[in-house]
A and B are shown apart, each in its own frame.
Chain A
């Protein structure tokens, strides 16, 4: 699958990142990998997009980060907060409504030509 242009994700990146960390603590590169593998390669986002977005979500209180030491190296792992879980639920409902509406319009067959 071809990688999707980052600008197409405008407004949805927060929900995608929250969904990735919903399953348990993840470090930044694991989040990038999870987006890539979970989308079959379509969501191959640059590092410069994902890490600052994670920091912004933490600033908003939707995720929390903890530092741990693994193999002598410090690692930052992100967890979903209760506010993040609530925000993810809202985002899912919005996305379902949006995707249903867009699919209903884009999925239509063309009108038969008038002869």
Chain B
């Protein structure tokens, strides 16, 4: 390979087939998967170039580079932990960021003046409020122990991060179902605010169910491949 591109078609076909197989096996946020594939493709290119420099043909070099990188299954398993953690962090951050966008409508609908009525009346009107600090604390702990603070804090494994994601999605699902039940059981007149709050909760229930299913499956797959972090 004199330049930056392989001239042998069989070698190109081998590398493309390898990258395609690997792409089909990676599970996680799409952008992260794309970045991994671009990076590994570049790495493969270097590995092939090195071998051609040492006298192999392009086809032999492509074969040897693929053997060095490992089977698509092995490489996908190796990235499963990082991708699982990336999924957990992104999902938890989305729950935290969108939480107030749902909660505000229910607060305005069920208890528009909480500072006048006091905490007890607020808890009676919106009984899921105690779940809020629990979910926020779980989210904060998961983000802190999988991010930059791992230099000082004990690092969460990908399974632990996914467990936190499942717990938060479960708490959010329970909260949304409860406020919907509270509203359905009340005699409040129908109003536009209720439509907003119900729509927001129904959307979030859908997201929570998808998250519960996906995070549980990812955690299960991680247990099967035992990728609990780096060497």
A interface residues with partner B (beta carbon < 8 Å): 6-7, 9-10, 13-14, 27-30, 32-33, 45-49, 51-53, 55-56, 59-62, 70-76, 83, 87
Contacts and interface: CB of A to CB of B under 8 A. Distances in A.
Contact of A59 (B41, B50, B146, B227): B146
Interface of B: 3-5, 35-36, 38-43, 45-47, 50, 68-70, 74-75, 77-79, 81-82, 85-86, 146-148, 150-151, 227, 229-231
A31 to B, nearest CB: 10
A20 to B, nearest CB: 15
Contacts of A61: 147-148, 151
Given A6-B231, A48-B74, A76-B35, A29 B42 contact: yes
By secondary structure, the A interface counts as: helix
Nearest to A30: B46
Contact of A29 (B5, B43, B230, B231): B43
Given A71-B4, A73-B4, A75-B42, A49 B78 contact: yes
A27 B42 contact: yes
B38 A59 contact: no
A49 to B, nearest CB: 6
14 contacts: A10-B231, A28-B42, A47-B78, A48-B70, A49-B231, A51-B36, A52-B230, A56-B229, A59-B82, A59-B85, A59-B86, A75-B39, A76-B38, A76-B39
B60 to A, nearest CB: 18
Contacts of B78: 46-49, 51-52
Contacts of B150: 59-60
B230 A47 contact: no
B71 to A, nearest CB: 10
